[in-house]
Amino acid sequence: MLRLRWTYYVAAVTLLCPSLLMAAKVKVWHQHTLSQYDKAQLKQVVLSNEGVLRLSRQLRPLAKLDAAHVWDIVEDRDGNLIVATGDEGKIYKVPPEGKPVVLHTGEQSEILCLVRASDGSIYAGTGPRGQILRLDPHGQTKLFSQTGESYVWSLAIDAKGQALYAGTGPHGRIYRINGEGKAEVFYRTHQDHILCLAVGSDNMLYAGTDKGGLVYRIDPRGKGFVLYQAKQGEIRTLKVTSEAVYAATSSPTQRRRKIVASEEQEDGKSSLASVSSAPASGENAVYRIAQDGTVRQLFRDKAMILSLLRQDERFYAGTGMDGQLFEFNEATRERSEIARLDHGQILCLCRRRDGSIVLGTGDPGKLYVLQDRYAERGSVYSEVLDAQIISKWGALHWEGETPAGTSVSVATRSGNVVEPDDTWSDWSEEQADPEHALITAPPARFLQYRVTLTTTDPARTPTVRAVTLRYKTTNQAPEVAKISVPDLNAVNLDNPKKLKFKWSAVDANDDDLTYRLLVRKEGWNSWVELEDDLDKTEWEWDTTTTPSGTYQIKVIASDRKDNPEGEALTGECVSLPFVVCHEAPAVTVKTAGLEGDRVLLEATARSPLVRLTSASFAVNGKKWTNIFPEDGLFDSKAETFRFQTEPLKPGTYVLVLRVRDAAGNTGSADVVFKVSPSSR
């Protein structure tokens, strides 16, 4: 066995693509988990829960049926398959050689379920008139019972073979039908549909419903008990053993297919309209309900679980919309997709007496036999990688195993529109050596890869556990989007001598950026460097050693950390003007008269660059008293004041007026005056 080991070292990339490694930061597209293949297209390839790709098991077409859906399959005592179909309500017999024979065509558009009795008879539930048909061991069909409901979704026979149970809708009733075909309500639920029935060895009847996702246990007297309520609204299928009940859910975002009878036509027959049967994806599960009532989740998937088959500790689960067949082990919890339809849903599973498994599908209705051999060839088309900008492609690696007679190869293609079309490049040559493979697609924005798995030995399959592609986007200059500078004429700063600057920058290549800061005063011819090699997008400037004036900051972003000299690029941005001011406001003050024993004063203050923010005066070195401009607002570089002192006694006084600006500078002026007794 040849084991392909995926190992990636810097030295390997240097050998394979030295220019890519030296040029810039290499980006990696690494796919190795289940979720990473959500958007991939798999053809004859399946995916395990650990993200391992392998060839699917072969599905051999068994018979071509004239049907849209195969709703149920049972095997008769002679080894023939009896097949319930829609949308024309036919029952087929398919002999072992696979040539189908129509046993029944009736007015019912859907044969929804089948069950075989111990005497060889087979019963069929129908819709939309809720009838039950009986096929005798010779294949003759007749109407056996009328339930009065619209749909008979499920049938079961009690352990002694004395009664037939029918799960119906849309009123959620279970009927008990005796040997003469008389139907009586056995149990009523508050649900809409009884989608599945099963009888245990203890002669208990188990039912799964649509509406509340309930699993019922009903004793022979008709006493019901809810074993479990799933978070999903629909219990689609049940399997009962002596140890546990297994319930599979099928909750779509769009409700299950409804078969609706329209008004009668002129010939008296009802025409039948069908709401879309396409199941939508949801979060569904298989639950194990033990005898003591404990519940354990065995399997979960986004798809609807439409069918379930148990074989020893292994389960097979058929799903839609992608028609996936899963196998999972109850004991080990291991799970793997083992087969997949090209399109449609796996609606039912039947294990024949010879051990083979037959799949019944919908959209279209077909029969397949699951074979214990792998498909000869399969492929995986990845989702499209969007590198955002034109990129150069580098090394290609994958990890997996190729037993004798098997092989794995990978091809790539690229383009500049998101959906691959005829403008994309052709698929590259197949790369078969994971240690020396290269992406040979032309430089472009979008990339897709295709993995091809082949085998010449149907008992063996190659596997792929991981796919890794490396690329480098064409280097583009970074962009400095905006610089935030403090505006002293708009805000009050705690420390206006230390100005804080912030900026934002983007780089299309996601390169790490460094920044250089320069400053220029109005009237200077050149920029002066303040700081270099900054890795943060903010900086504080202590302006106390800087002359007053109007300035601008320039921020230059560089991607040199991730690009060699000569290929590194820069982007820059210049801020709006801002002010640095160290000059104190010019202040004047004079007396303007008396008002009783108060002195009136007039004053002016002017700052050369910034607005004034406060003013106060003190008389004879006493307390400071705040004053305001004549217009009541500190909103400009020049203000006028008119104010008066407190009542003063006769004597000589000195009044000091100080005014502060937004840059933290303080200017002052004083006036000496006398208050005489005669002036009071």
pLDDT at 680: 52
> Exposed, middle or buried by CB within 10 Å (0-12, 13-18, 19+), for 331?
exposed
The verdict on 127 and 275 lying in the same domain is yes
Question: Omega into 252 within 30° of 0, i.e. cis?
Answer: no
pLDDT tens, residue by residue, 358-368: 999 998 999 99
Cα separation of 625 and 619, whole Å?
9
Does the pLDDT at position 263 exceed 50? no
pLDDT at 335: 86
pLDDT at 139: 84
CB-CB contact of 197 with 154 (8 Å) = yes
pLDDT at 11: 35
Collapsed DSSP state (helix, strand, coil) of residue 578: strand
Does the pLDDT at position 561 exceed 50? yes
Cα separation of 573 and 575, whole Å?
7
Q: What are phi and psi of 12, to 5 degrees?
A: -65, -45
pLDDT at 257: 38
* Local confidence band at 260 (pLDDT 50, 70, 90 cut-offs): very low
Q: Which two tokens stand for residue 16?
A: 């394979």
The verdict on 129 and 23 lying in the same domain is no
Q: 36-45: buried (b, 16+ CB within 10 Å) or exposed (e) per residue? A: bbeebebebb
pLDDT tens, residue by residue, 116-170: 999 999 999 999 999 999 999 988 999 999 999 999 999 999 877 789 999 999 9
The verdict on 558 and 415 lying in the same domain is no
The verdict on 91 and 26 lying in the same domain is no
DSSP, res 665: -
pLDDT at 64: 81
Q: Which two tokens stand for residue 496?
A: 């206006």
* Non-local CB neighbours of 59 within 8 Å, separated by 6+ positions: 339, 341, 359, 368, 369, 370, 371
The verdict on 483 and 468 lying in the same domain is no
Evaluate whether residue 74 is within a structural domain.
Answer: yes
* Sheet strands side by side (includes 479-484): 479-484, 498-506, 538-542
CB-CB contact of 168 with 177 (8 Å) = no
pLDDT tens, residue by residue, 480-494: 989 999 988 888 888
* Local confidence band at 30 (pLDDT 50, 70, 90 cut-offs): very high
- Which comes out higher in pLDDT, residue 613 or 312? 613
Collapsed DSSP state (helix, strand, coil) of residue 62: strand
Residue closest to 528 by CA, chosen among 502, 564, 553, 505: 553
Question: What dihedral do alpha carbons 487, 490, 493, 495 form, nearest 10°?
Answer: 50
Cα separation of 117 and 121, whole Å?
5
Evaluate whether residue 321 is within a structural domain.
Answer: no
Evaluate whether residue 343 is within a structural domain.
Answer: no
Between CA 323 and CA 328, with CA 324 as vertex, the angle to 5 degrees is 150
* Local confidence band at 276 (pLDDT 50, 70, 90 cut-offs): very low
* Local confidence band at 567 (pLDDT 50, 70, 90 cut-offs): confident
pLDDT at 585: 97
* Non-local CB neighbours of 352 within 8 Å, separated by 6+ positions: 75, 79, 81, 358
Does the pLDDT at position 400 exceed 70? yes
Q: What is the CATH number of the domain that holds 626?
A: 2.60.40.650
Evaluate whether residue 60 is within a structural domain.
Answer: no
Cα separation of 225 and 187, whole Å?
11
Q: Which two tokens stand for residue 85?
A: 């179909």
Evaluate whether residue 254 is within a structural domain.
Answer: yes
pLDDT at 492: 85
pLDDT at 252: 76
Does the pLDDT at position 632 exceed 80? yes
Mean pLDDT of the chain: 89
Average pLDDT over residues 560-584: 93
In 456-526, beta strands by DSSP E: 463-473, 479-484, 498-506, 514-521
The verdict on 469 and 489 lying in the same domain is no
pLDDT at 565: 86
Lowest mean pLDDT: which of 204-218, 332-346, 544-558? 332-346
- Which comes out higher in pLDDT, residue 289 or 21? 289
Cα separation of 476 and 507, whole Å?
7
Percent of the chain exceeding pLDDT 90 equals 76
CB-CB contact of 504 with 478 (8 Å) = no
Cα separation of 135 and 83, whole Å?
12
pLDDT tens, residue by residue, 658-677: 999 999 999 999 999 999 88
The verdict on 534 and 666 lying in the same domain is no
Lowest mean pLDDT: which of 53-67, 103-117, 272-286, 444-458? 272-286
Average pLDDT over residues 536-542: 95
Distance (Å) of CA 334 to CA 72, 258, 328, 442: 28, 35, 6, 41
- Which comes out higher in pLDDT, residue 11 or 100? 100
Lowest mean pLDDT: which of 23-32, 239-248, 581-590? 23-32
Domain closes at, from 447, 473, 499: 473
DSSP, res 576: P
Number of continuous H segments (helices) and E segments (strands) in the chain: 2, 55
Give the side-chain half-sphere CA count within 13 A for 344.
21
pLDDT at 1: 36
Average pLDDT over residues 431-456: 96
CB-CB contact of 150 with 170 (8 Å) = yes
Residue 101 belongs to domain spanning: 65-304
Collapsed DSSP state (helix, strand, coil) of residue 674: strand
Cα separation of 621 and 617, whole Å?
9
Evaluate whether residue 33 is within a structural domain.
Answer: yes
Place of tokens 């008769």: 76
The verdict on 104 and 178 lying in the same domain is yes
Domain closes at, from 304, 319, 338: 304
Q: What is the CATH number of the domain that holds 179?
A: 2.130.10.10
pLDDT at 679: 55
Average pLDDT over residues 329-336: 86
Residue closest to 113 by CA, chosen among 104, 101, 125: 125
Collapsed DSSP state (helix, strand, coil) of residue 18: helix
Domain closes at, from 580, 605, 625: 580
Does the pLDDT at position 445 exceed 80? yes
The verdict on 495 and 572 lying in the same domain is yes
DSSP, res 418: S
pLDDT at 24: 55
pLDDT at 282: 62
For the chain, the straight-line distance linking the first and the last C-alpha, in angstroms and rounded, comes to 118
Does the pLDDT at position 18 exceed 80? no
Length of the chain: 680
Evaluate whether residue 372 is within a structural domain.
Answer: no
CB-CB contact of 94 with 75 (8 Å) = no
pLDDT tens, residue by residue, 36-77: 998 999 999 998 888 999 999 999 999 889 999 999 999 999
What is the number of domains present in the chain?
A: 4
- Model confidence pTM above 0.75: no
The verdict on 561 and 611 lying in the same domain is no
Evaluate whether residue 361 is within a structural domain.
Answer: no
* Local confidence band at 269 (pLDDT 50, 70, 90 cut-offs): very low
pLDDT at 281: 45
Residue closest to 143 by CA, chosen among 135, 151, 152: 135
CB-CB contact of 11 with 303 (8 Å) = no
Percent of the chain exceeding pLDDT 70 equals 92
Does the pLDDT at position 206 exceed 90? yes
Q: What is the CATH number of the domain that holds 559?
A: 2.60.40.10
R_g of the chain, CA atoms, integer Å: 42
Q: What is the CATH number of the domain that holds 395?
A: 2.60.120
The verdict on 80 and 208 lying in the same domain is yes
pLDDT at 533: 93
Cα separation of 500 and 282, whole Å?
52
Residue closest to 192 by CA, chosen among 99, 281, 256, 96: 256
Give the side-chain half-sphere CA count within 13 A for 77.
12
pLDDT at 107: 85
The verdict on 407 and 499 lying in the same domain is no
Cα separation of 153 and 163, whole Å?
17
pLDDT at 416: 97
